[in-house]
């Protein structure tokens, strides 16, 4: 079985062909996510999308083996386009879980991946130029001066220890306009696979949030946030506002809820509601899949779609979930 965030149909087909040919769950996940990176799904996976404040595209990726609980991940990786393959190399050839930045790039290249290469594209560069012309708005800074400019920024000492409520009362001149999370600027492929032996693996790949502050790492390479797998229980994948989601580890929550007997549809909804109670304007989604192939999803702030391929299907099927609702199928 293959499940993926969004209507990334070709990626799911690629993973299905791999798992149907007898590949391991980990290798099938890597094949599927690699296809999405090559296709530059929605411009938010792989090279050529989501420029940061300096106009550069960087890659976050993760792969997790639900049999051994091993994880390999890369974050803020520059100059190497194959994020999910680099993550697998971390898992296969190091005792570490996560490598970051240029050191992750150097590792990936030393292990045979192509690079260094410019990960920007004509489209991402044009997007960045327009953003600069718009005085670098919106951006991810807050409680800084000057606003409505491209910086450099500095904080206001008088407001540095305010509570969230107090910060909401700040004069407009101290507030910044945070980017609105959406499919076209804040997306991720998160994929789960059950292979012929019943083993489970998950993988995630993304080029992160558009116009992020350089060095920012979202939930993509964080185990338990963007994805999580355990052969004894099932798997989860997530997408959305990673800066918020990583504070709650929603996929770890989903899998542990299923371990305690909760059905996938309730586990998915519970994980999303835990976040939405604290952040009512939160935008994100999770899918849940138990070891028997029962799957479901829940979302907040947007309409979410996820893709599934199972032996009972002739081709990939896309399911649609609306805020505060779930889809539950087998």
User: Which residues belong to the active site?
Assistant: 188
Q: Is 239 annotated as a binding residue?
A: yes
Partner residues linked to 289 by β-bridges: 235, 295
To the question of whether residue 101 is assigned a binding role by annotation, the answer is no
The whole-angstrom separation of Cα 166 and Cα 228 is 36
219 annotated to bind ligand = yes
Is there a binding annotation on residue 241? yes
75 SS3 class = strand
Q: Establish whether 30 is an annotated binding residue.
A: no
Q: DSSP letters of 236-300?
A: EEEEE-HHHHTTT-HHHHHHHHHHTT--HHHHHHHHHHHHHHH-TT--EEEEEEETTS-EEEEEE
Handedness of CA 79, 80, 83, 88 (dihedral sign): negative
Q: Any known ligand binding at 218?
A: yes
DSSP state of 235: E
The verdict on whether residue 217 carries a ligand-binding annotation is yes
Sequence-separated (6 or more) residues with CB below 8 Å from residue 220: 60, 61, 62, 75, 188, 204, 205, 206, 208, 226, 242
Of the CA atoms within 13 Å of residue 263, those in its CB half-sphere come to 10
- Contact indicator for 283, 241 with CB cutoff of 8 Å: yes
242 is in an annotated binding site: yes
**Which of 48, 145, 62, 149 is closest to 104 using CA atoms?**
62
Task: Give 46's DSSP letter.
Answer: S
d(CA 48, CA 102): 18
Which residues does the annotation place in the binding site? Answer: 216-219, 239-242
Residues annotated within the binding site for substrate are 216-219, 239-242
């Amino acid at each position: 079985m293959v499940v993926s965030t969004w209507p990334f149909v070709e990626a799911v087909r690629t993973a299905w062909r791999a798992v149907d040919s007898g590949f391991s769950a980990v290798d099938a996940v890597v094949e599927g996510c690699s296809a999405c990176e090559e296709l530059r799904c929605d411009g938010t996976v792989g090279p050529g999308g989501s420029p940061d404040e300096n106009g550069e595209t960087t890659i976050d990726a993760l792969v997790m083996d639900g049999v051994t609980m091993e994880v390999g991940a890369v974050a803020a990786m520059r100059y190497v386009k194959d994020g999910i393959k680099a993550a697998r190399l971390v898992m296969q050839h190091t005792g570490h879980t996560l490598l970051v930045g240029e050191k992750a790039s150097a590792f990936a290249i030393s292990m045979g991946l192509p690079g260094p290469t410019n990960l920007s594209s004509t489209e991402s560069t044009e997007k960045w130029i327009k953003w600069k012309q718009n005085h670098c708005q919106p951006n991810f800074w807050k409680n800084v001066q000057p606003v409505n400019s491209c910086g450099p920024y500095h904080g206001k000492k008088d407001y540095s220890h305010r509570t969230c409520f107090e910060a909401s009362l700040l004069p407009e001149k101290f507030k910044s306009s945070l980017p609105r999370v959406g499919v076209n600027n804040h997306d991720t492929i998160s994929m789960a696979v059950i292979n012929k032996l019943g083993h489970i693996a998950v993988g995630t790949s993304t080029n992160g949030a558009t116009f992020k502050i350089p060095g920012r790492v979202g939930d993509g390479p964080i185990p338990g946030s963007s994805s999580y797998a355990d052969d004894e229980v099932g798997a989860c994948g997530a997408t959305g506002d990673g800066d918020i989601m990583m504070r709650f580890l929603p996929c770890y929550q989903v899998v542990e809820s299923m371990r305690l007997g909760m059905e996938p549809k309730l586990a998915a909804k519970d994980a999303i509601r835990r976040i939405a109670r604290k952040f009512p304007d939160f935008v994100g989604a999770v899918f849940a899949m138990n070891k028997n192939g029962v799957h479901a999803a829940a979302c907040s702030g947007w309409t979410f779609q996820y893709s599934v391929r199972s032996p009972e299907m002739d081709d990939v099927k896309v399911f649609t979930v609306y805020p505060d609702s779930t889809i539950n199928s087998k």
